[in-house]
Amino acid sequence: MADLALIRIDDVRVKIPRTGGMLVDGMIFADEELLENFVEPEAITQVANVAHLPGIVAYSFGMPDIHWGYGFPIGGVAGMDVDKRGVISPGGVGFDINCGVRLIRSNLELDEVLPRLDQLLSRLYARIPAGLGRDGGLSLSKKELKRVLSQGSRWLVTHGMGEEADLVHCEEGGCMPDADPEEVSRRAYERGVPQLGSLGSGNHFLEIQVVEEVYDEAVAQAFGVFKGQITVMIHCGSRGLGHQICSDFVKIMLSAMSKYGISVPDRQLVCAPFYSEEGQRYWRAMCCAANYAWANRQMITHMVREAFEVVFGGAWRSLGLDLIYDVAHNIAKLERHHVDGKWRTLCVHRKGATRSFGPERQEVPERYREVGQPVLIPGDMGRSSYLLVGRKESLDRSLGSTCHGAGRCKSRNQATKEISYSRLLKELEDRGIKVYSHSKRTLVEEAPEAYKDVSMVVEVAEVAGLSKKVARMRPLGVIKG
């Protein structure tokens, strides 16, 4: 797929016209600077490769934070018509199934938290496990884990680790009902039993933030956000369980493709028709991993609330530690979309991308339905993160999708070669950011300069009509693996 033609449609959209076996055009949301300096040729090729998948409609999309990934680019979105033999692909979901972000508000303001920030971070660091392979904050039996896989966040709430409002303000209510624990392998269970309530490593984090800027007062008020407010952002996923499920079904689908006469330009795009035996088995197992990830973030939320109670006194409800929203970044969902003049049921793959539904969609919690779905776009640990809102236009332009972060501009190996750990700590300290990490290497791999500037990415998403800025949060303290 070398030498692909690129046609600029406007300031923030670039089309890859159909060629060869592509079934639809590709569409990348990027301005000239992003396209020239940060979008790898390999990622562009991957957008074109995804356009070969059976049942794909509209476009093969690349979000503004697009970069090279496994099969699909990270920042890749594609919808397959399941009534037209549309496929489901593990590479279109990713290994960390339902890696996602949640944002917790508070009634606290900056001057109340700064004097106790070290105490708060120390308590969170001691309480919430982080790092490669680290066990979680809740020890489960296999029987209990099966219930978590079936019930997701609700299992935690029914055991006193949250409230009903947490479920309401979470995509899918924190549970995909098609989950079937019988489709999860023994090895996935072994990896999942000890890890619930842990951040993991890589780009996962817990961050104490302050709302530095509000762009839309009306929407911010609907979300319960104000300037100077303290918020908490949690970024993690399904840990080893999700990784194992993806690995298991890549092998299963690899052997199944010939059975369905499917040929793909990249074997990492292994897939099966959604309604095939293999497709349904993966779907039910993926739902289990998604439920585990929501439960994982719910457990960490519970521990965050406990830490705030100890440090600031009083019940967490009196501190206003309510969940604003929880979004999934690596997931496939069945959604109804109006494409080519008709309503279709699509299996929408979002791999390193965020759902961005505007007002009136029934999937948006009733409290937010007049303004649209909250969209959470984390930055790197040295720069801001954003709260945005979904836009009605995004349904036509990107199947209701937007970016999920800044996107890497340096590989982890490149970062470790070029960035000094001591210099990084000094730079973060100079910015007033306290960092707690179990690994020097992870910290260097996740340095701000290894990522694009999230503000540039968010601006493209806004100009393209995918999402609209509501508030910007600046990091005060970060916990990483």
The answer to whether residues 289 and 242 touch, using CB atoms and an 8 Å cutoff, is yes
With tokens 């029987």, the residue in question is: 143
With tokens 């090895």, the residue in question is: 187
User: What CA–CA distance (Å, rounded) separates 64 from 168?
Assistant: 29
Buried b (16+ CB within 10 A) or exposed e, 81-97: bbeeebbbbbbbbbbbb
What type of residue is 37? Answer: N
User: What CA–CA distance (Å, rounded) separates 263 from 52?
Assistant: 9
Angle at the Cα of 354 from the Cα atoms of 348 and 360, rounded to 5 degrees? 80
User: What CA–CA distance (Å, rounded) separates 422 from 444?
Assistant: 9
User: In this structure, how many other beta carbons lie within 10 angstroms of the beta carbon of residue 398?
Assistant: 28
Q: Which two tokens stand for residue 157?
A: 């709430």
Buried b (16+ CB within 10 A) or exposed e, 426-441: ebbeeeebbbbbbeee
Q: Which two tokens stand for residue 26?
A: 């590709």
Among 329, 332, 322, which Cα is nearest to 375's? Answer: 329
CA neighbours closer than 13 Å in the CB half-sphere of residue 307 = 23
User: What CA–CA distance (Å, rounded) separates 207 from 89?
Assistant: 32
The answer to whether residues 260 and 276 touch, using CB atoms and an 8 Å cutoff, is yes
Catalytic residue among 52, 204, 329, 404: 404
In sequence order, what DSSP letters do the residues of 107-153 get, joined into one string? S-BHHHHGGGHHHHHHHHHHHS--STT---SS---HHHHHHHHHHTH
| Known active-site residue 204 | no
First-to-last alpha carbon distance for the chain, in angstroms, is 38
Assign 87 to helix, strand or coil: strand
What type of residue is 24? Answer: V
Q: Which two tokens stand for residue 144?
A: 């209990």
The residues annotated as belonging to the active site are 404
